[in-house]
Amino acid sequence: MKTMLALISNVLCRITGKNAAAQTVSELLIDLSEYVSLTSPVTPAMATTQRQPPKPPPVSTSAPQLVSVQADPLASPGAKVVISSRSFTSQATFDIKKCELHHLEEGPPDKAEMTREQGLQYYHSMQTMRRMELKADQLYKQKIIRGFCHLYDGQEACAMGIEGAINPTDHLITAYRAHAYTYTRGVSVKQILAELTGRKGGIAKGKGGSMHMYAPNFYGGNGIVGAQVPLGAGIALACQYQGNNQVCVTLYGDGAANQGQIFEAFNMAALWKLPCIFVCENNKYGMGTSVERASASTDYYKRGDYVPGIRVDGMDVLCVREATKFAADHCRAGKGPILMELQTYRYHGHSMSDPGVSYRTREEIQEVRSKSDPISMLKERMLSNNMASPEEFKEIDVEIRKHIDEAALFATSDPEPPLGELCNHIFANDVPIDVRGVNPWTILKSSS
Amino acid sequence: MALLRCFHSGRSAVSLVGRREFHKTSPISVKMTVRDALNQAMDEELERDEKVFLIGEEVAQYDGAYKVSKGLWKKYGDQRIIDTPITEMGFAGIAVGAAMAGLRPICEFMTFNFSMQAIDQVINSAAKTYYMSAGFQPVPIVFRGPNGSSAGVAAQHSQCFAAWYGHCPGLKVLSPWSAEDAKGLLKSAIRDDNPVIVLENELMYGVTFEMSEAAQSKDFTVPIGKAKIERQGSHVTLASHSHMVGRCLDAATVLAKEGIECEVINLRTIRPLDVECIETSVMKTNHLVTVEGGWPQFGVGAEICARIMEGPAFNYLDAPATRVTGVDIPMPYAKTLEDHSIPQVKDIIFSVRKTLNTLTLNTHISALDIGGAAQKQRVDHVTTLI
């Protein structure tokens, strides 16, 4: 071993011209790392088969805006993470799964470019979503969160990929598994958790709860399965009416995919060429019913019939991003609506009341976790392409953990909304009105 | 046809219909049908605010199933007057979504019976959203269309939804009767930043009313939540809405000949109810009869009676308040049956007399065998009280 070590070390010294003598494996590695830092990071000669010669970063509105959108004072965007003195690959191109197409001549590309900054940002956001949902799980089990709580862990690549492809001025509406979208659309973890715990610091002042969080260009959070789909088409109609070149991403699940009103929305969206991206998040189960037991056709991307469709790997953030970019371009070009089926998976049950193992096996869940976890996949990609170091990821994890803990502390210590809030916000821009209370002698006040 | 039914309200079968422009030298008041009043309201609001648009079945190229939107598509085009497929849940949801994103839709239901298919969008997506979002997301939308019974359209097309929508917080529910009501309330509804239901009535569309000079103005609105006293009286308060207001006025005319002066209140708004107006009237007349076309259980009249009981007017009642309502059955088709399914003028007169206790032993409802025995029983009961 020692001979081998000395041999390698000597060879390296000869190549590099350094005069060093490694005594241990770690010294050898340190030697190597010092060597790497001395050379230019973009030397093509050092590129492996997966790396491409550096190109200027793509003109994308997504990455910088992702950073600016996070208004949470507790968060520090990934860009601020202390970067070690090592040099990394600034950008790489990745193979992504080819999308199956329906009524489309061509689809999204089968390669995706990602810069180091983007990668770290995606990781940061997805890990934040993951840890936020796990914290919600914890708080629910402590009975600090009540009622409904539908968790999104496992599906982070969908929310991140979509947000990475649209502008903050575009619109998004989803169903009740909405915490992650609330985050990607700009609401802080603190305000999301405080809404879950029903406090006045929540994004809906504690009056909405898990399924009713709103933000600029984010229309919830909707509790009635499928109802959000016509709403989304209506938002798209408003975009078309106002001629602002914006699109509306309208999400629903495999369970909702059989709702009649969705087909009504498809019809009108196609008829009037509304700029609506319909997205079916197929996580294989609608509550406790597997897709095979619920749908006569599980090709959800084809269910739009005359609406063109794409089937996307929803566990790969880059695949989702490229598909969404493609879809947004389609809509903005005035070609009408388009349907994306994101094949994804949720680790939790349907909600916190559902253990999630009566209709599927623990083995299945474990297999997805180990083979297709979206966060792990992204991390591995970045590591194997030298786009980041394990230490960096660890640092991000630590920072996120701290951020979530602080947010949870706020969410558990913030007071509930005062009773005076009970009757407010019934009507907008209206005079204060009297509201009948529980008995004829209780007249409450409502202000806008 | 509709005119023959409304003795009082159809003052003149001739009306100067269809004119939207009025010269400055025109007479002080003009005659106008309810249909044209609604049309004028929409026309003026479409002109005033480009965010306003009309969406519904047959509203554009067909000029409206009942011609209420006649001429609007020609004037404003495809973008502002939108024909939809026959998919209520879908297009109501689309209208609500458009309202959330900043537009001001008028969503027409061909009749409110079809709104049942879309009622989830009206209640859960429109009415509740401003509250659930703690004041972040307003929904400035109007749902309008004919409500209640018509003529010979039978059970599935004759339901009154005043009580259903009136039940829900987050909605404003309007029920115009006259042309002035129709124009003013619809304009108020469109200008309101909240979900407003406008329950029109098909039988009233062709009825002509005088429009005052004020009502002819492009900025004429009728305030939401304020009832109107159509006829002053001192012996009994008749509280009614929509089509039944006309029947109350007819009953009042007949009763006046006997020296019974009815005060007829046109509610105009179902939610929020103008309880103060009713209370003030009851404190004057000491008797209350509510009159509606809808079913009795959990209806508008039931709410009014409950509120009167809970308020200061209760102590002024000399007799229990009475509700005159549609019969508690699905609407039959045959003419005679249909006629006996909703309150007729004589039913209102009967209830007033009972309430005022001016009913003699020999006075009972004629021609109605069904429940005749029950009627006789009630008459006997009255005798024992005297």
Question: Residues of A with CB below 8 A from B92's CB?
Answer: 230
Tell me which of B45, B57, B88, B292 is the catalytic residue.
Answer: B88
Residue A139: pLDDT band with limits 50, 70, 90: very high
Question: For position B96, what pLDDT does the model report?
Answer: 98
CA neighbor of B87 nearest in space, from A230, A174, A274: A230
Residue A28 has pLDDT above 90, yes or no: no
CB-based contact A430 B102, cutoff 8 Å: no
Q: How far away is chain B from the Cα of A109, in angstroms, using its nearest Cα?
A: 32
Mean pLDDT along residues A187-214: 98
Question: For position A71, what pLDDT does the model report?
Answer: 39
User: Given CA atoms A252, A253, A258, A259 in this order, what sign does their dihedral have?
Assistant: negative
CA neighbor of A310 nearest in space, from A162, A119, A120: A162
Question: Residues of A with CB below 8 A from B305's CB?
Answer: none
CA neighbor of B130 nearest in space, from B195, B188, B189: B195
Q: What are B185's two structure tokens? A: 């309330």
More confident residue, A373 or A13: A373
Cα B16 to Cα B208: distance, rounded to the nearest angstrom: 9
Residue A63: pLDDT band with limits 50, 70, 90: very low
Best mutation target, A176, A268, A436, to test chain B (most B CBs within 10 A): A268
Q: How far away is chain B from the Cα of A169, in angstroms, using its nearest Cα?
A: 12
Question: Residues of A with CB below 8 A from B274's CB?
Answer: none
Cα B226 to Cα B245: distance, rounded to the nearest angstrom: 15
Cα A269 to Cα A251: distance, rounded to the nearest angstrom: 14
Question: Residues of B with CB below 8 A from A427's CB?
Answer: 130, 170, 172, 193-194
Least CB–CB distance from B134: residue in A204, A232, A234: A204
Taken as a whole, chain B contains a residue count of 386
CB-based contact A428 B138, cutoff 8 Å: yes
CB-based contact B124 A448, cutoff 8 Å: no
Q: What are A89's two structure tokens? A: 């690959």
Residue A83: pLDDT band with limits 50, 70, 90: low
Tell me which of B157, B167, B340, B364 is the catalytic residue.
Answer: B157
B340 counts as catalytic: no
Burial of B179 per CB tally in 10 Å (0-12, 13-18, 19+): buried
Sheet holding B142-146, edge to edge: B81-83, B52-56, B104-108, B142-146, B196-200, B172-174, B269-271
CB-based contact B121 A204, cutoff 8 Å: no
Question: For position A16, what pLDDT does the model report?
Answer: 57
Least CB–CB distance from B98: residue in A212, A224, A234: A234
Q: What are A141's two structure tokens? A: 């089990």
Pairing of strands A285-286, B30-33: unpaired
Residue A327: pLDDT band with limits 50, 70, 90: very high
Question: For position B23, what pLDDT does the model report?
Answer: 55
Residues with Cβ < 8 Å from A396, sequence gap 6 or more? A78, A81, A120, A123, A124, A127
CB-based contact B133 A214, cutoff 8 Å: yes
Residue B15: pLDDT band with limits 50, 70, 90: very low
- Under DSSP, the state recorded for B109 is P
Cα B9 to Cα B252: distance, rounded to the nearest angstrom: 12
Summarised one tens digit per residue, pLDDT across range A356-407 is 999 999 999 999 999 999 999 999 999 999 999 999 999 999 999 999 999 9
Residue B17 has pLDDT above 70, yes or no: no
Residue B87 touches partner A, C-beta closer than 8 Å: yes
Distances (CA, A) of B4 to B1, B9, B163, B206, B382: 5, 10, 28, 11, 35
Best mutation target, B91, B123, B132, to test chain A (most A CBs within 10 A): B132
Least CB–CB distance from A208: residue in B99, B124, B132: B132
CB-based contact B93 A448, cutoff 8 Å: no
Cα B221 to Cα B377: distance, rounded to the nearest angstrom: 49
Chain B 141-160, residues with CB within 8 Å of chain A CB atoms = none
Q: What secondary structure, in 3-state letters, does A229-282 show?
A: HHHHHHHHHHHHHHCCCCCEEEEEECCHHHCHHHHHHHHHHHHCCCCEEEEEEE
CB-based contact A227 B90, cutoff 8 Å: no
Least CB–CB distance from B132: residue in A204, A239, A430: A204
Question: For position A9, what pLDDT does the model report?
Answer: 59
Cα B301 to Cα B303: distance, rounded to the nearest angstrom: 5
Best mutation target, B133, B168, B224, B315, to test chain A (most A CBs within 10 A): B133
Burial of A223 per CB tally in 10 Å (0-12, 13-18, 19+): buried
The C-alpha torsion from B113 through B118 and B120 to B124, rounded to 10°, is -110
Summarised one tens digit per residue, pLDDT across range B97-146 is 999 999 999 999 999 999 999 999 999 999 999 999 999 999 999 999 99
Cα A415 to Cα A411: distance, rounded to the nearest angstrom: 9
Question: For position B3, what pLDDT does the model report?
Answer: 42
Residue A60 has pLDDT above 80, yes or no: no
Coil, helix or strand for B38?
helix
Mean pLDDT along residues A348-355: 96
At position A355, the amino acid (one-letter code) is: P
| Other beta carbons within 10 Å of B181 | 27
Residue B1 has pLDDT above 80, yes or no: no
Indicate yes or no: pTM above 0.90: no
ipTM metric: 0.86
CB-based contact A429 B93, cutoff 8 Å: no
Residue B202 has pLDDT above 80, yes or no: yes
Percent of chain A with pLDDT strictly greater than 70? 81
Cα B58 to Cα B60: distance, rounded to the nearest angstrom: 6
More confident residue, A6 or A446: A446
Percent of chain B with pLDDT strictly greater than 70? 86
Q: Which residue of A has its CA nearest to B96?
A: A231
CB-based contact A267 B311, cutoff 8 Å: no
Cα A326 to Cα A312: distance, rounded to the nearest angstrom: 12
B157 counts as catalytic: yes
Percent of chain A with pLDDT strictly greater than 90? 80
Residues with Cβ < 8 Å from B368, sequence gap 6 or more? B340, B375
Residue A87: pLDDT band with limits 50, 70, 90: confident
Chain B 50-79, residues with CB within 8 Å of chain A CB atoms = 53, 79
